[in-house]
Structure formats: structure tokens, C-alpha cells
Amino acid sequence: MRSIVFSLMLSAVAAGSLVAQGQSQQPAKGSSQPVARIESGPGTGDMAPNFRLPWASSDSIGPMADDFILQRHVGKVVVLAFYPKDFTTGCTAEMKAFGERFEELFGDAVVVGISADSLESHQRFAASLDLPFQLLSDPNQRVARLYGSQGENYPRRTVFVINAEGRVTYRDMRFGALDATAYDKLKAAVQAAAKG
């Protein structure tokens, strides 16, 4: 009986570990059971985890002494946009829309894109789209993990809106880069966060 209880406890701990890491269990081969993806990261109303990452913009790579630190932007609305990879179709469409509609979508908010790409890649990507915001490099997906946005090889496409107090007021864990309604919802969320 003791060994059965111990085995059940080990299973529960393993399942909890998967939840904490935002991973999903894979079905056995040939299984037709649906697989649920367990998401983690801060929810609406939670304090946004602080982080520090290097950045690049369309015209430069930031000096190490001037890394992006989330905590420095308390008092402003901040938008974090995790995305898979520079120069891919969906990511280009998303970042291009952000750049072209920047004032309309974001107003005075601080906006950053975050992926695992290098700073050199980020600078080329930002320059190719003339982006008016910084792209942050998270090569080991350390920050993506904090926000439940990590993927197998690169971050998943997610968006977080953080209010002036540093709380998450909106999150979209499957942002649709090619879905016009995703941008409308994001715009409304930024406006709501700005109003307090």
C-alpha cells in the first residue's frame, strides 16, 4: 500500500512540474486522444515578472549597460510581444502591422518584441520593417518561460499588456498575426490599461 501511495505522489509531482513549466504531455503513438497544452505565466491581475534583456533597434544594437529592464518602465503601459522568429511570414506580418499601426494600436505605450534570435538578426529585421520599437534577444527562452511563452525551439506567439502599476491586464496566449480581430482586441486592451 505504501508503495502505491508513493507512486501516486511521484506522478502528481511530475504532473505539477509540467504545469509549472507550461509543457504538455504527449499521447501514446496511435492514440486519438486530444492533447491539452497547459499554459503558465502571469495571469490577468498578476504582477508581471521583472526581467533584463539586451535589445536592438532598426539603427543600432543597445550597449550592455542599457539593457531593457521591465521594472524601469513602471508608470507606463508596456506591451510584450513574444514571437517565434525574425523574417518568417507570420512574424513579419505581425511586426509590420505593429510598426505601420503603432500610434493607433499603442499610443504612448512602451512596446517590445521578444524572440530567441540574435541581436544582429534583430537589427536587420527591425531595419527591414523600419520598426519604431526595440526587439529583445532571449536566446535561452529564459524570459519566455517566465511568461509561459516558451516553445520547443523558439517562443510561441503571445502578447501581454502591463499597466502602470506593473500588473498584467491582458494576455493573448495565441495571438493571431493574420487575424484582424487580434489587433482590435490588443488595441482595446492597451487603451483600457492606459485609462487605469
In order of 12, 26, 42, 138, the CA distances from 18 in angstroms are 10, 11, 16, 22
Which entry of 53, 78, 91, 112 is annotated as an active-site residue?
A: 91
69: exposed, middle or buried (Cβ count in 10 Å: 0-12, 13-18, 19+): exposed
Strand-pairing partners, residue 137, are: 115
Is 91 labeled as catalytic in the residue annotation?
yes
CB 77 within 8 Å of CB 196: no
Coil, helix or strand at residue 78: strand
CB 178 within 8 Å of CB 92: no
> Which residues are part of the catalytic machinery?
91
